Structure 1
Amino acid sequence: MPDPADRRIAVVMTTFDRCAGVLATLPRLLALPERPEVVVVDDASPDATAQQVARHFPQVRLVRAPRNLGSAARNLGVAAVDAPYVAFADDDSWWEPGALRRAADVLDAHPNVGLLAAAIDVGVDGGREDPTNALLAASPLVRTDLPGPEVLGFVACGAVVRREAFLAVGGFAERMHIGGEEELLALDLRSAGWRSVHVAGVRARHAPDATGERPGRRRRTTRNRLWTAWLRRPAGSALRVTGETLVHAARDPAARAGVVEAVRDLPRVLGERSPVLPDVEADLRRVARAERSSSTP
């Protein structure tokens, strides 16, 4: 007899124009012992992703985005489920057996936690750890009432969210699309009183395409770093982030394109500006200092 389905948690996968990846990854999610509900959000793919998922995986709930939403497509998947917790997956990522049950247990035990950032193993066989694991584990924001170090950033394909918290803050911002979109959500969760924590015992697997970075990724990451700073950081910190970004962009054409794109929308961004409270800004500075210290030889 298979294990009973764990109705506490669902998985939301988003995909755009990568049909082969979706068809290869879905069996891994459907084979998990937790037997979670799996939702695929097709982000207006021009290929046959939606048709192929419907044909080969009728047990999966398929949601079709009305247009290409990027990271905000995940919002549609979260809204479509009833489970209190939602784990994210990309079309090239999945979860280790038992990880979702452990995540749900942690969230059950800590009602103030809005997001759990897992450890991520890279490669089909998990040959190496994602470098982000060390950054998350080294966070200086340690509290005795939390199940792991508090973090103010995460990797979306290794995150489990409390559905209530995620929807209350609006999920992923559509303006960010893809590329460094996580920081704004992490700050909004913290500003709303929710905690995000890293739990190394919960593990996801990521097997990115060997062809490397998708076109436009660095441009969008640069743009989103600036937008996040301008939207949520106090003036002094926003100016410091802007200066650091301009120095980097001076030697990176893709980053320069991101700066131009960010500046183009600056008036509207400033109209939406809502800086974090001083305690959140203080923690951001603590994390930045710790990261600089760890990278110093």
Structure 2
Amino acid sequence: MRQPRTTTVVATRNRREALERTLPLHTGPVILVDNGSTDGTPAFVRDRFPHVRVVDAGRNLGSPARNVGVELAQTPYVAFADDDSWWAEGALERAADVLDAHPRLAVLAARVLVGPEERTDPVSVLMARSPLPGTAGPGVLGFLACGAVVRRSAFLEAGGFDDVIFFFGEEERLAVDLAARGWELAYVEAVVAHHHPAPSRDPQARLALAARNAVLTAVLRRPWPVVARTVLRAAGSGRPGLAGLRAAVLRLPRALARRRELPREVEQARELLERAP
């Protein structure tokens, strides 16, 4: 019997009902990292899904919880899933075949189908139109974590997700760091993930979080003129943007301590994507 090539890593917090629906849909090794749930998720999963390896972080690590799962994985590739997402039948085998065939490919960004109506996520649409070249598909400098399969060694080499961004939009900093190290990232439409997110309970808070993390990502890696434009864009976007700026200030010392501008060719590629229709 062929050894599994891909482990699915799920990060969760207080989403036991969603996990009850999605965990049976995962194939192969599964590692669930619990971000300090208070609804009994770790015990529930251990009891109902004994094949799933459960790691109880004891607190909310945010997106870096996925790093814990990647470190524990014993396979060359890792697929990420949210508690409300899963991979289509055969998708992980197809993804592993692509990664096997392209040894410099660090991230395979899949097509994400959203909700019962199975509409293509707008981010997937943008990635499909990327003007960047790629060997496995259009080159990208970002991805949706719940629709990404990564090369474990490359992910760990680049440091995984970081606690400055913490959560929401955490993919961009990792993507550009991988590109800066010479790794490829590509959108592969033939690999499909499903995502059935619950409606946001606080859309304004999510807008503020997006503004905060856009500013922090720019501070971490982009030239100062780009940082200035990002700050002005947030300031001009109303109350959520201003709230995001205030939140970014609290994390600014850590972002500045880890600041490292991208190589010129990666920054140029990022600017090309921003100018694309």
For normalisation by structure 1, the TM-score amounts to: 0.89
Equivalent positions of 1:154-193 (< 5 A) are 154-193=143-182
Shift of residue 163, structure 1, vs aligned partner: 0.3
In structure 2, relative to structure 1, the CA distance for the partners of 1:74 and 1:111 (3 Å cut) is same
Aligned to 1:234: 223
Equivalent positions of 1:95-244 (< 5 A) are 95-124=87-116, 126-143=117-134, 146-210=135-199, 216-244=205-233
| SS of aligned partner of 1:68 | coil
Contact 2:109–2:143 (CA under 8 A) maintained in structure 1: yes
Contact 1:5–1:36 (CA under 8 A) maintained in structure 2: no
Contact 2:5–2:75 (CA under 8 A) maintained in structure 1: yes
Tell me the number of residue pairs that the alignment of Structure 1 and Structure 2 aligns: 277
Shift of residue 132, structure 1, vs aligned partner: 1.1
| C-alpha distance after superposition, 1:15-56 (max 9, x if no partner) | 101111111110111xxxxx4101111111111100100110
Contact 1:6–1:36 (CA under 8 A) maintained in structure 2: no
Rounded Cα–Cα distance in structure 2 between residues aligned with 1:27 and 1:271: 42
Shift of residue 265, structure 1, vs aligned partner: 2.9
Rounded Cα–Cα distance in structure 2 between residues aligned with 1:106 and 1:90: 22
Rounded Cα–Cα distance in structure 1 between residues aligned with 2:251 and 2:63: 19
1:264 aligned partner, one-letter code: L
Rounded Cα–Cα distance in structure 1 between residues aligned with 2:251 and 2:81: 30
Shift of residue 176, structure 1, vs aligned partner: 1.5
Q: Pick the aligned partner of 2:263 from 271, 277, 280.
A: 277
In structure 2, relative to structure 1, the CA distance for the partners of 1:212 and 1:127 (3 Å cut) is farther
Shift of residue 67, structure 1, vs aligned partner: 1.6
Q: Pick the aligned partner of 2:69 from 77, 82, 89.
A: 77
Shift of residue 193, structure 1, vs aligned partner: 1.3
Rounded Cα–Cα distance in structure 1 between residues aligned with 2:203 and 2:77: 29
Alignment partner of 1:26 is 2:13: no
1:83 aligned partner, one-letter code: T
| C-alpha distance after superposition, 1:44-91 (max 9, x if no partner) | 111110010011011111111132011110011111111000000001
Rounded Cα–Cα distance in structure 1 between residues aligned with 2:227 and 2:240: 21
| SS of aligned partner of 2:164 | helix
CA RMSD of aligned residues (A): 1.5
1:134 aligned partner, one-letter code: V
Q: Which runs of 5+ in 2 are unaligned?
A: none
Seq. identity, %: 45
Aligned to 1:265: 251
Shift of residue 218, structure 1, vs aligned partner: 2.2
2:193 aligned partner, one-letter code: A
| C-alpha distance after superposition, 1:95-138 (max 9, x if no partner) | 000110110001000011100100001114x5311111110011
| C-alpha distance after superposition, 1:167-210 (max 9, x if no partner) | 11110002212111111111111111111110000000000114
Shift of residue 212, structure 1, vs aligned partner: 5.1
2:216 aligned partner, one-letter code: W
Contact 1:38–1:61 (CA under 8 A) maintained in structure 2: yes
For normalisation by structure 2, the TM-score amounts to: 0.95
Rounded Cα–Cα distance in structure 2 between residues aligned with 1:63 and 1:25: 18
Rounded Cα–Cα distance in structure 2 between residues aligned with 1:214 and 1:75: 27
Equivalent positions of 1:54-93 (< 5 A) are 54-93=46-85
Rounded Cα–Cα distance in structure 2 between residues aligned with 1:133 and 1:6: 30
| SS of aligned partner of 2:64 | helix
Deviates more, 1:154-163 or 1:127-136: 127-136
| SS of aligned partner of 1:176 | coil
1:12 aligned partner, one-letter code: V
Contact 1:178–1:217 (CA under 8 A) maintained in structure 2: no
